[in-house]
Amino acid sequence: MIKELEKISLEIEKDLKDLDIPQLKKKYLSKDGTLQKLFKNIKDVKPNQKAEYGKTLNTLKVIIEEKINDSQREKSEVEDNKKIDSTAPFDINSSKEKRPHILDLKGSSHPLMQELDKMLDIFQRMGFNILESRQIDDDFHMFESLNFPKGHPARDMYDTFWTEEGFVLPAHTSTMQNRALRRFGPPPIRVVLPGRCFRNEATDASHEHTFYQIEGIYVDKGVSMGHMQAVIKEYLSQYLETELEVKMQPAYFPFTEPDIEFVIGCPFCKKVGCCVCGYTGWIELMGCGMIHPNVLSSGGIDPQEYSGFAWGVGLDRLTLIRKGIKDIRKLRDGDINFLRQF
């Protein structure tokens, strides 16, 4: 009998390699399987061999069961890896062997958000409130409240995306002016309005259809262009961490009077000319101006009593300048190798 067990144990060794799990189960563990038969035979074994026989048989059973358990565990791990959540970050979907390396990646904030935080921190210290702009808006906030009546030719300057229901993806953060005047009025009003903007642009290294702006509004009694120049110069100097030379040149916006383009002497080449300033020595950074009386009135502020200034500065361009990024599209293409550098 013991001899027979030895023979079977050799057969099991071979079958563990050659048979799959259902075949192993059927051949050895089923009711009429080999092991069951051998267990039944125990009554015929000589009494002095019974103990050894039983022990050997049990060991063989354990070996087969372990093999089956191991293979079931492996199978369920493979199945786990196959369940892909297409909305999850890429590291969740990668195979287990790769994960430890990928999980070493610590999450980090996006370069644009790093710059936004830095800017907002400066404005907060200067006493400004913060209100995020909307990513979908209506004709009134995009145009009417900003002194672009229906049919005004300057509407074309803000060529953007419309839904069939007549909503608009805002082309600038000025869409928030009316809301901010009403929400934070009566003056004094100091508020910055950061948010995403969208324009119908053909993209290239310096143009994107989606970008960030930070709108700023300051309204009180007796506010002048001098205040505007001082405030904008101060926050830009703090942001770029250097003393700046500034210029104001004429521009056109329906929602300001007068309308200004704010220009800084290039802080990178000290106006000698470099690739950042396009070898002109100056960088046109933003539109700004004294808020038009019609805009104040539509925001519930009496223009006879109060005056104010506003600006809209683009964040993407500043991010490119500060971080030395050559192509604006990099900020949105989700390339992990690029983002890991920040």
Nearer to ligand DAH, 111 or 314 (CB): 314
Please identify, among the stretches 26-34, 51-59, 99-107, 309-317, the one whose residues bind ligand DAH according to the rule CB under 6 A: 309-317
Q: Does 147 bind ligand DAH (CB under 6 A)?
A: no
Q: Does 312 bind ligand DAH (CB under 6 A)?
A: yes
The whole-angstrom distance between residue 214's C-alpha and the CA centroid of its chain comes to 18
Q: Does 254 bind ligand DAH (CB under 6 A)?
A: no
Nearer to ligand DAH, 67 or 190 (CB): 190
- Rounded to a whole number of angstroms, the minimum distance from the CB of residue 250 to ligand DAH is 12
User: What distance, in Å, lies between the first and last C-alpha atoms of the chain?
Assistant: 73
- Rounded to a whole number of angstroms, the minimum distance from the CB of residue 102 to ligand DAH is 40
Dihedral sign of CA atoms 99, 103, 104, 105 in order: positive
**DSSP letters spanning 176-217:** GHHHHHHHHPSSPEEEEEEEEEE-----BTTB-SEEEEEEEE
Our CA dihedral for 224, 225, 229, 231, rounded to 10 degrees, sits at 30
The residue from 181, 192, 193, 310 that contacts ligand DAH (CB under 6 A) is 310
- Rounded to a whole number of angstroms, the minimum distance from the CB of residue 328 to ligand DAH is 16
Question: In angstroms, rounded to a whole number, what is the distance separating the alpha carbons of residues 180 and 166?
Answer: 23
Question: What would the two tokens of residue 329 be?
Answer: 């599209």
Please identify, among the stretches 68-76, 127-135, 305-313, 318-326, the one whose residues bind ligand DAH according to the rule CB under 6 A: 305-313
Binding mask 275-294 for ligand DAH (x = CB under 6 A): ------------xxx-----
Q: What is the DSSP letter of 94?
A: S
**DSSP letters spanning 145-173:** GGT--TT-GGGGGG---B-TTS-B--SSG
- Rounded to a whole number of angstroms, the minimum distance from the CB of residue 110 to ligand DAH is 22
- Rounded to a whole number of angstroms, the minimum distance from the CB of residue 312 to ligand DAH is 3
- Rounded to a whole number of angstroms, the minimum distance from the CB of residue 337 to ligand DAH is 32
Nearer to ligand DAH, 56 or 177 (CB): 177
Say if CB 200 and CB 228 are below 8 A apart. Answer: no
Nearer to ligand DAH, 235 or 311 (CB): 311
Nearer to ligand DAH, 208 or 215 (CB): 215
Question: In angstroms, rounded to a whole number, what is the distance separating the alpha carbons of residues 294 and 255?
Answer: 8
- Rounded to a whole number of angstroms, the minimum distance from the CB of residue 262 to ligand DAH is 9
Nearer to ligand DAH, 256 or 319 (CB): 256
Say if CB 278 and CB 321 are below 8 A apart. Answer: no
Nearer to ligand DAH, 65 or 284 (CB): 284
Nearer to ligand DAH, 56 or 256 (CB): 256
Say if CB 257 and CB 293 are below 8 A apart. Answer: yes
The residue from 56, 145, 147, 256 that contacts ligand DAH (CB under 6 A) is 256
CA angle 173, 129, 133 (to 5 degrees): 25
- Rounded to a whole number of angstroms, the minimum distance from the CB of residue 225 to ligand DAH is 12
Q: Does 170 bind ligand DAH (CB under 6 A)?
A: no
- In the three-class reduction of DSSP (H, G, I as helix; E, B as strand; rest coil), residue 75 is classed as helix
Say if CB 267 and CB 246 are below 8 A apart. Answer: no
Binding mask 204-233 for ligand DAH (x = CB under 6 A): -----------x------------------
Look at residues 307, 283, 118, 334 and name the one whose alpha carbon lies nearest to residue 221: 307
Interface residues toward ligand DAH, by CB under 6 A: 172, 174, 215, 253, 256, 287-289, 310-312
